[in-house]
């Protein structure tokens, strides 16, 4: 009769990246170790002194988790940097630029219908000519 045995050691990756460089460190830790234990064991702070686990969020395979989470064998632990720009503000600026350039309706902010219709008409005329 086969028994399910829990490995005494697991292997995980610890990943961190800046705009200039990225590092993925493979570490072996005892089964039951926490995300925090894995990060400490990886010594990744030797390469990136700006890592502050009290302030920065962490995750496993792009899904946020807590430092006391227990990873599984083969997991990738990621340390996330703080956002440098508010995503809503970036989108708002991009939409304003599209309005200024005429790519979006100045009132609704939606796609400029006249240009879209003209583009569709041009494409259908081109299709007719190519037949």
> CB 24: neighbour CB atoms within 10 A?
14
pLDDT in tens, 22-40: 999 999 999 999 999 999 9
- Residue 76 or residue 2, greater confidence: 76
Strand duo 63-65 + 58-60: pairing:
antiparallel
Quick check: helix, strand or coil at residue 16? strand
| pLDDT higher than threshold 60 for residue 1 | no
The secondary structure of residue 20, as a DSSP letter, is S
> CB 71: neighbour CB atoms within 10 A?
24
Strand duo 9-17 + 22-30: pairing:
antiparallel
Distance CA 113, CA 125 (A): 18
Q: What is the mean pLDDT of the segment spanning 62-71?
A: 94
Domains of the chain: 9-79 (3.10.20.30), 87-125 (no CATH)
| pTM score, whole prediction | 0.61
Chain centre to alpha carbon of residue 74 = 19
């Amino acid at each position: 009769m086969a028994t399910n045995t829990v490995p005494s050691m697991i292997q995980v990756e610890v990943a961190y990246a800046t705009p200039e460089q990225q590092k993925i460190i493979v570490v072996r830790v005892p089964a039951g170790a926490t995300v925090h234990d894995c990060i400490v064991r990886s010594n990744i702070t030797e390469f990136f002194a700006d890592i502050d686990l009290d302030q920065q969020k962490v995750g496993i395979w792009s899904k946020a988790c807590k430092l006391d989470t227990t990873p599984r064998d083969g997991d990738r632990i990621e340390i996330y940097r703080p956002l440098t720009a508010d995503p809503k503000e970036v989108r708002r600026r991009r939409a304003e630029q599209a309005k200024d350039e005429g790519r979006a309706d100045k009132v609704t902010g939606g796609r400029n219908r006249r240009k879209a219709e003209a583009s569709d008409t041009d494409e259908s005329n081109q299709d007719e000519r190519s037949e």
